Amino acid sequence: MVRGLVLAAAVFWVSQVLAAPPSLPSTFQSRLVDVGGASIFVQVGGSGSPVVLLHGYVESGDMWGPLAKELASSHTVIVPDLRGLGRSSRPGGGYDKKTEAQDIHSVVTDLGFDEVAIVGHDLGGIVAYAYAAQYPGKVTRLVFMEAPIPGVGPWTEVATMPALWHWYFGGPDAERLVAGRERIYFDHFWRFAADPSRIDDETRDHFASQYATPGAMRAGFAQFAAFAQDARDNQILGREQLTVPVLAIGGEAAFGSYPAAFMRAVASDVRGVVLPDTGHWLMEERPDVVVPLIRDFIDAGARQ
């Protein structure tokens, strides 16, 4: 049995190399952090004031390559894989974003940091909000990218959009339907780009291979199944408005102005940006615009 597990692990890691995937700078170091109930895979590089980068669904922390490289020249960049996704462990529960934010806080403190700037895309944006709301005074800047906040602001309107049917897709039957077809299933999500041809095959193959590993798709579905609990939690967390400066970014061909609308429901200092000719995949579609936009916003906080 042990030999079988070692062989399976070897096949997984080799597949990551052969996929020629997006990646963080080679100078980044990786480790697993036990957060109690889960082991969180984290990549860390650079030096200076810390910035946490939180990925969304279909992806892992590997998505942050261009931004991580830019920020690492003046910041310590912390890039976790969310609970259940990427190379983190896949426990049976704990996929509400309040708990996942606690996971990330444990990672931050394990690395020896207290106050951080946080950047979150998609599911990572929801976790970033839950982090800022639970740890007031511990977040210096918040970048909220292409995400909703369940339970507050225009949630009822967004939650009924037909294009977001996958929020309600999951369970054992769905897992069997998708098994072996992860790349086909994920092509649905890449269509949220303004021009899906901007997402190359290497990127698609890399992330599909990560979600094809045992338990990954179940954990992915669990992220959305937890939205009902997230909504209840956020209605309570949202009673105290965030005072941290927020940059809310939407793609014109995707969530557009919604990220800013969600954040304005829970925060008092929000700058909203809608990027033209851009869909959901901000980092993949427009890194030339998104990277300096985020860098300048984060650095403005570091100078204060």
What tokens does 205 get? 């193959």
Averaged pLDDT of the chain: 93
Say whether 243 sits in a helix, a strand or coil.
Answer: coil
- pLDDT category at 302 given cuts 50, 70, 90 is low
Domain hosting residue 14, numbered range? 2-303
Q: In this structure, how many other beta carbons lie within 10 angstroms of the beta carbon of residue 72?
A: 20
Q: What is the CATH number of the domain that holds 214?
A: 3.40.50.1820
Mean pLDDT of 68-76: 97
The number of CA neighbours under 13 Å toward the Cβ of 297 is: 27
How many domains in the chain?
A: 1
Which one has a higher pLDDT value, 6 or 94?
94
pTM of the model: 0.92
- pLDDT category at 23 given cuts 50, 70, 90 is confident
The H or E element spanning position 125 is helix 123-134
CA–CA dist 132, 101 (Å, integer): 9
pLDDT of residue 304: 55
Which one has a higher pLDDT value, 300 or 45?
45
| Cα-Cα end-to-end distance for the chain | 56
Amino acid identity for residue 79 in this structure:
V
